[in-house]
Structure 1
Amino acid sequence: MTNDPQLVQMRRLTGANGWRAVVARALKGRAPQFDKAAFDTYWIEGGHRIREQVGDDHQLAAFLWISLPHYRAQDGAKLELYRGESIDRLNLGQLGFAWTSDRGTAEMFAGGLNACGSGGVLLRALVAAEVIAGPGAHSLYLGESQYTVDPTVGFPVERLAHFPPIF
């Protein structure tokens, strides 16, 4: 699957710093020609780079709502999801889009990759309508159970644990 032509194209877009233009075109009604499953795979792989290139979480959220396979909630049931976030990004109100149903996975990110600057924080939220997409095949393969959640709509989060900075 790593040599899928659509994934190769998305990686090239990233290398060319092209995601801002792709998102702008998509929001004007000219969606990219990626199938949703391929984009879901690349979102897991390179979503942080896409976010950096777009530079506007509201535009990115609108793009993700049209580009990812939609999550189907059952009767408005809320999901208990976790996120390992950077304390600095949390304090700036810049929550990430990637959440998980697996607390251990979120703790790994809170104490590792996202423990930069002032350190990491383990967050918990109950969400429903905010969920854009559920775990896709690649997320399940990685054992991350990643849900894509729209942080721009605002929802309450609970801080469960803090982690010291690692770098």
Structure 2
Amino acid sequence: MTKRHGDMNTRTTAYAPQWKIRAVAAITVAGIAGLALAAGHGCDRPSTTSPEPPGGGTTYVLDFAVFESQVDPVFTARGCDDLSCHGGGIRGTFELSPFDDKDVAFDFAQSRLQVNGADPAASPLLVKPLAEGAGGAAHGGGNAFSSTDDPDYQALLAWIEAGEYR
């Protein structure tokens, strides 16, 4: 840009000191190199944080008939499907059909979301209603199971353990 200053033509240029230019260039090059390195890192091998499920599949399949005959009745016996609990709408991340209007298919679908096939005993379906002193987690609805020896706890655990990845 040319600027008239008196009788002299002077050129004005907006510039940055050389050290700023070099610093920005270094950061830009380092950033691009870092992104390229990160993008390629680990793509050629499986992640160690997500192991292959046993059986090789990615869907954990559970038995509906066993759920209907042995698991869903536990929810009613323990009051989990009561209107003041999970039968009255979603509580936390779990919802059941109300005891007086059972929808076993809905309960099955909801229960499957609370299952950890890779580590059945760590399933929220078992951990949340288990007493904290027995290895459970805090649960607003209290403890349905005082220990892992409880027959109803064992019924839920057996159902989960019988599942398989396909």
TM-score bracket for the superposition, by shorter chain length: under 0.3
With the length of structure 2 as denominator, give the TM-score of the two structures.
0.23
With the length of structure 1 as denominator, give the TM-score of the two structures.
0.23
